[in-house]
């Protein structure tokens, strides 16, 4: 039952509500949250109401006279119902983002306590709390003592910050070149452009098997480029591509980067936290040699959207890229033991992001994440084994991590019809992509809410949809 109302339409809520009103506000918000979470499984993935009228109304809305919290929250309820439900375990499309409640509670705390963590001297313990999590991240990837992690808004900002750091160390001019795989995430090419590189300075290298960057192809590209007067600046590898979850040959690429004096950046936005598991650590072997690593806690650590991380092997590279002096900060104490985020990232004033990671890690413990990630790997393996055994489907080998692409025997139109049929069920949602120039469906297991039952439901839906569409094995078997 929703809490009883004490705040009426006509009342103006003070900017600093008293304890009673504050409690009522939070309880009302909490009520919406628990109702949402309680009904998640049953509601499926489809929007529960049409968005058009609501979108028009909201775009026309202007803040004016105050209204009650219950009225504001009822609008929010409509907003949530008008979009796809992406926080259920049935979300197996794109890169699922489930959102831990404990991290959301940390957001409430971080925002109300509003500690200033852009500089170390103002709230040193708040910076230390985040610093401890950052150290743990660096240690999880076996990076040296001089390594540094920073939390940013997401993987795109981490990729951008990494390429700016590489540019500042190696000096980019019009002849610098960055080597990326055909399967690299779009944010990598975007980052290179924002970092000042022109399109011809971004060299897309082929993959040996259509999915994983081919080290020899990169080696040849670098050799040719050097002979032609280009200056190789960075190799960007993927530790979990968005399309197929595949991991580039990181150890080989690290060797090549060392030989050629280039910066190795590993975009592990999707796959990075599998490093916490034994199987994931084996799949990501070589990542510990990277100059920089992008991680997205809002992907494989199940956090709500808004937290990315960049790990850099040598904090001096971040300082070179981002440190600036400011006269008006002269009266603030420096503290050598603490990270100074203002000189390690593009931001100054920032959300106290550390709490979003710290609180879940405190409350659940690291092993809860290790178990959940191991479970995702096992579920993806189960999906692949089932699909690979069906002669009506093409698959691309056992999953490196937790994404399984597949394609039915038939043309691209058939793939779209298959996807539509599966998603129309309202139980699970898959998405599609293009691999080797052909449309493929993909099933991504990453939500902390995806269970064995969800996966069995998805497999049964794939089977029955193939039956209904009359798909048969290829004539040559
Ligand atoms: C491999 C990879 N890199 C980078 C990104 C960009 O991350 P974000 O959306 O957090 O900016 C994504 C997002 O899906 C991704 O999958």
What is the whole-number distance in angstroms between the Cα of residue 191 and the centre of ligand 1?
A: 12
- 3-class DSSP state of 97: coil
In a domain, 5, yes or no: no
Residues with CB under 6 Å of ligand 1 are 95, 154-156, 159, 185, 187, 238, 242, 267, 269-270, 296, 308
What is the whole-number distance in angstroms between the Cα of residue 299 and the centre of ligand 1?
A: 8
Of residues 208 and 388, more confidence is placed in 388
- Closest ligand 1 atom to residue 94 Cα is 14
Which of 296, 301, 303 has the most ligand 1 atoms within 8 A of CB, as the residue to mutate? 296
On average, the pLDDT of the chain sits at 95
Domain that holds residue 73: 19-85
pLDDT at 41: 83
pLDDT at 209: 86
- Tell whether 213 and 268 lie within a shared domain: yes
What is the whole-number distance in angstroms between the Cα of residue 113 and the centre of ligand 1?
A: 30
In a domain, 37, yes or no: yes
CATH number, residue 383: 3.90.1150.10
Which of 190, 269, 403, 431 has the most ligand 1 atoms within 8 A of CB, as the residue to mutate? 269
pLDDT at 9: 43
- Tell whether 67 and 168 lie within a shared domain: no
- Tell whether 435 and 355 lie within a shared domain: no
In a domain, 408, yes or no: yes
- Tell whether 185 and 259 lie within a shared domain: yes
Domain endpoint, select from 364, 395, 412: 364
pLDDT tens string 307-319: 999 999 999 999 9
Sign, CA torsion 283/288/293/296: positive
Contact present, 308 and 269 (Cβ < 8 Å): yes
Nearest protein CA to atom 7 of ligand 1, as residue: 155
Give the lowest-confidence range in 1-10, 229-238, 332-341.
Answer: 1-10
Q: Average pLDDT of 126-143?
A: 98
In a domain, 222, yes or no: yes
Residue 176: C-alpha distances to residues 214, 233, 304 (Å): 21, 6, 36
Which of 287, 299, 302, 310 has the most ligand 1 atoms within 8 A of CB, as the residue to mutate? 299
Sign, CA torsion 48/54/55/59: negative
Give the lowest-confidence range in 4-8, 88-92, 410-414.
Answer: 4-8
pLDDT of 226 higher than 90: yes
Q: 176-181 and 231-238 as β-strands: parallel, antiparallel, unpaired?
A: parallel
Picking from 308, 327, 257, 307, the residue whose alpha carbon sits closest to that of residue 287 is: 257
Q: Average pLDDT of 378-405?
A: 98
- Tell whether 127 and 235 lie within a shared domain: yes
- Closest ligand 1 atom to residue 241 Cα is 1
- Tell whether 313 and 356 lie within a shared domain: yes
CATH number, residue 269: 3.40.640.10
What is the whole-number distance in angstroms between the Cα of residue 270 and the centre of ligand 1?
A: 7
- Tell whether 213 and 160 lie within a shared domain: yes
The Cβ of residue 14 has, within 10 Å, a number of other Cβ atoms equal to 8
pLDDT of 476 higher than 70: no
| Percent of the chain residues topping a pLDDT of 70 | 97
pLDDT at 326: 84
Long-range contacts formed by 323-329: CB under 8 A, 24+ apart: 329/119
What is the whole-number distance in angstroms between the Cα of residue 304 and the centre of ligand 1?
A: 14
In a domain, 126, yes or no: yes
Q: Assign 2 a pLDDT band (cuts: 50, 70, 90).
A: low
What is the whole-number distance in angstroms between the Cα of residue 237 and the centre of ligand 1?
A: 13
pLDDT of 21 higher than 80: yes
| Percent of the chain residues topping a pLDDT of 90 | 92
- Closest ligand 1 atom to residue 308 Cα is 10
* Phi-psi label, residue 325: left if phi above 0, alpha if psi -120 to 50, beta otherwise: beta
Q: Average pLDDT of 190-214?
A: 94
- Closest ligand 1 atom to residue 238 Cα is 1
In a domain, 189, yes or no: yes
- Tell whether 41 and 173 lie within a shared domain: no
Q: Average pLDDT of 318-335?
A: 86
pLDDT of 264 higher than 60: yes
Nearest protein CA to atom 14 of ligand 1, as residue: 95
Picking from 263, 268, 265, the residue whose alpha carbon sits closest to that of residue 172 is: 263
- Tell whether 297 and 380 lie within a shared domain: no
pLDDT tens string 445-464: 999 999 999 999 999 999 99
Q: Assign 3 a pLDDT band (cuts: 50, 70, 90).
A: low
pLDDT of 5 higher than 60: no
Domain endpoint, select from 315, 332, 364: 364
pLDDT at 237: 98
What is the whole-number distance in angstroms between the Cα of residue 301 and the centre of ligand 1?
A: 13
In a domain, 6, yes or no: no
pLDDT tens string 48-71: 999 999 999 999 999 999 999 999
Nearest protein CA to atom 8 of ligand 1, as residue: 155
Domain endpoint, select from 364, 381, 402: 364
pLDDT at 410: 98
Picking from 273, 272, 212, 206, the residue whose alpha carbon sits closest to that of residue 248 is: 212
- Closest ligand 1 atom to residue 271 Cα is 1
Long-range contacts formed by 48-57: CB under 8 A, 24+ apart: 48/81, 48/82, 48/85, 49/78, 49/81, 49/82, 50/82, 51/82, 51/83, 54/78, 54/79, 54/82, 55/82
User: What is the total count of domains within the chain?
Assistant: 3
Q: Average pLDDT of 216-242?
A: 98
Nearest protein CA to atom 4 of ligand 1, as residue: 155
What is the whole-number distance in angstroms between the Cα of residue 241 and the centre of ligand 1?
A: 9
pLDDT of 43 higher than 80: yes
Which of 86, 152, 156 has the most ligand 1 atoms within 8 A of CB, as the residue to mutate? 156
- 3-class DSSP state of 202: strand
- Tell whether 53 and 143 lie within a shared domain: no
- Tell whether 152 and 300 lie within a shared domain: yes
- Closest ligand 1 atom to residue 296 Cα is 10
Residue 252: C-alpha distances to residues 94, 197, 258 (Å): 28, 25, 10
In a domain, 164, yes or no: yes
Which of 97, 155, 298 has the most ligand 1 atoms within 8 A of CB, as the residue to mutate? 155
What is the whole-number distance in angstroms between the Cα of residue 39 and the centre of ligand 1?
A: 29
What is the whole-number distance in angstroms between the Cα of residue 269 and the centre of ligand 1?
A: 5
pLDDT tens string 274-309: 999 999 999 999 999 999 999 999 999 999 999 999
pLDDT of 4 higher than 60: no
Give the DSSP H or E segment for 265.
Answer: strand 263-268
What is the whole-number distance in angstroms between the Cα of residue 95 and the centre of ligand 1?
A: 8
Taking the model in full, what pTM does it have? 0.96
- Tell whether 349 and 411 lie within a shared domain: no
């Amino acid at each position: 039952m929703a809490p009883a109302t004490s705040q009426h339409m006509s009342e103006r809520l003070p900017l600093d509500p008293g304890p009673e009103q504050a409690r009522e506000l939070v309880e009302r918000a909490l009520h919406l949250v628990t109702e949402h979470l309680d009904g998640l499984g049953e509601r499926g993935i489809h929007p529960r109401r049409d968005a058009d009228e609501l979108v028009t109304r909201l775009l026309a809305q202007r803040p004016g006279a105050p209204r009650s919290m219950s009225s504001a929250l009822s609008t929010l309820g409509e907003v949530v119902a008008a979009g796809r439900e992406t926080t259920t375990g049935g979300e197996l499309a794109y890169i699922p983002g489930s959102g831990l409640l404990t991290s959301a509670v940390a957001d409430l705390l971080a925002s109300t306590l509003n500690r200033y963590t852009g500089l170390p001297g103002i709230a040193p313990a708040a910076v230390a709390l985040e610093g401890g999590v950052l150290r743990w991240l660096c240690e999880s990837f076996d990076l040296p003592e001089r390594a540094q992690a920073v939390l940013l808004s997401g993987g795109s900002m981490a990729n951008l910050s990494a390429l700016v750091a590489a540019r500042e160390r190696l000096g980019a001019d019009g002849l610098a070149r960055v080597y990326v795989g055909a399967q690299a995430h779009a944010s990598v090419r975007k980052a290179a452009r924002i970092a000042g590189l022109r399109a011809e300075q971004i060299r897309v290298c082929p993959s040996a098997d259509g999915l994983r960057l081919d080290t020899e192809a990169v080696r040849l590209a670098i050799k040719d480029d050097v002979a032609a007067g280009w200056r190789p600046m960075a190799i960007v590898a993927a530790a979990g591509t968005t399309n197929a979850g595949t991991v580039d040959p990181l150890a080989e690429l690290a060797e090549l980067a060392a030989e050629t004096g280039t910066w190795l950046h590993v975009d592990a936005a999707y796959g990075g936290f599998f490093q916490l598991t034994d199987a994931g650590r084996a799949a990501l072997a070589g990542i510990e040699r990277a100059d920089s690593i992008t991680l997205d806690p809002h992907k494989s650590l199940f956090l709500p959207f808004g937290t990315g991380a960049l790990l850099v092997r040598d904090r001096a590279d971040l300082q070179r890229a981002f440190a600036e002096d400011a006269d008006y900060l002269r009266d603030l104490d420096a503290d050598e033991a603490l990270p100074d985020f203002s000189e390690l990232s593009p931001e100054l004033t920032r959300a106290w992001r550390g709490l979003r990671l710290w609180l879940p890690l405190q409350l659940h413990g690291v092993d809860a994440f290790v178990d959940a990630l191991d479970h995702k790997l096992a579920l993806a393996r189960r999906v692949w084994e089932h699909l690979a055994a069906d002669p009506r489907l093409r698959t691309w080998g056992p999953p490196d991590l937790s994404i399984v692409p597949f394609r039915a025997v038939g043309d691209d139109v058939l793939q779209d019809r298959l996807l539509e049929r599966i998603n129309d069920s309202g139980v699970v949602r898959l998405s599609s992509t293009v691999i080797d120039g052909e449309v493929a469906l993909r099933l991504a297991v990453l939500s902390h809410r995806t269970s064995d039952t969800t996966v069995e439901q998805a497999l049964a839906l794939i089977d029955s949809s193939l039956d209904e569409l009359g798909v048969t094995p290829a004539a040559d078997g």
